[in-house]
Amino acid sequence: KLQFLYFIGKGQGQMLRIANALGLRKKAKLGGDQRNLKKSKLDLSKAVHTVGFVCVTVAILIITSTVFTYFRSVFPLLVDKDANHHAWWWVLGVCSWLSFNLMFNYCLVLTTPAGRADVALMTEADLRQAELDRCEPEKRGSLWCKKCEAPRPVRAHHCPLCGYCVLKMDHHCPWVNQCVGHYNHRYFILFLVYLLLSVAFASITISLHFTGTLKSPSLPSMYRSSRVSSSVILCYVVCVALTMVMSLFLLWTSHLVLRNQTTIEFVAQLLIDPRAGYRKNLEATFGKFTTYAELLLPSVVPLADNGHNYANHIPSNAGL
């Protein structure tokens, strides 16, 4: 009987060791899968940021080369300073204003972070709601991020490429190589506005030159060469193409801004109280302003709102 119990105990011990070994192997496999998943996400993030760096470089080259071509090859064709002094200064002033604001806002959207969620700045009500949403992180408008394993403010979303929750995230844009969110959204909108105004102005003035409406009476010989003509035609084609594309894109973006809604919120059917009005919706993106003309002025004044408190955020199907 003792021998029988001994063999049974020995068999159970062996079975227990086998089970422990299988469990350790399973845990090791799961740990390896998680490490591989993290590594793949890190590789993807690096690849996307590399592509973003290339996109930013291409965008800068296109903008600077187009502006240089316009001032060097197109502007002398339009008006003559001696023949029409006022028109020359008017065209020069408009070109300079558009070019400055275009580069100014693009530099700011490149260098201004969208904003990172900070639990310390969240309200007590949002923190309590986040604890309730912890059991339902997939719920629409959830204030709990399952990726960060932490609360997040209203309108913040996790960017898998940046690796953290972005305040009022609109989208991750490769042309600025970062997220567009709370702190740089206004610069992104103004960049689109001045890009459209610049290419539309160039397209119109070059068209008027081709029709003979806007043409300098005295052209230097260098501006009659085929090389310069090719540059003008190339500049014209680029500007017309960008005018058509940016018109549609800016129309859609303006629609979202006037509704105080981001691209992610549009897809998820989340919005701010629609009864707030256009002015309040614009102030949510651009900050406080006195006149609408102020929105187009270059500004580096920081927003008064820290992007962590949006009390009127409601589902779009809430019956309002």
- List pLDDT tens digits, range 265-317: 888 777 666 567 888 889 889 988 999 999 999 988 888 888 888 754 544 43
pLDDT at 221: 44
With the CA atoms of 160, 165, 167 and 173 taken in that order, what torsion angle do they form, in degrees rounded to the nearest 10?
-10
pLDDT at 198: 96
pLDDT at 284: 86
pLDDT at 110: 95
pLDDT at 174: 92
Mean of the per-residue pLDDT values of the chain: 81
pLDDT top residue among 276 and 237: 237
Instruction: Decide if pLDDT at 80 tops 90.
Output: no
- List pLDDT tens digits, range 18-38: 545 555 555 545 455 556 556
pLDDT at 17: 60
Using an 8 Å Cβ cutoff, are 220 and 206 in contact? no
**What is the C-alpha R_g of the chain?**
29
Average pLDDT score over residue span 36-42? 61
pLDDT at 36: 58
Average pLDDT score over residue span 179-203? 95
pTM over 0.75: yes
pLDDT at 20: 58
Average pLDDT score over residue span 257-269? 87
Distances (CA, A) of 212 to 71, 78, 148, 209, 217: 19, 9, 62, 5, 10
Instruction: Decide if pLDDT at 181 tops 70.
Output: yes
- Cα 288–chain centre separation: 22
Distances (CA, A) of 276 to 169, 171, 189: 20, 24, 20
Using an 8 Å Cβ cutoff, are 218 and 206 in contact? no
pLDDT top residue among 42 and 93: 93
- List pLDDT tens digits, range 99-147: 999 999 999 999 999 999 999 999 888 899 888 888 877 777 789 998 8
Here the tokens at position 160 are: 């898998």
Cβ within 8 Å of residue 190, ≥6 positions away? 101, 105, 295, 296
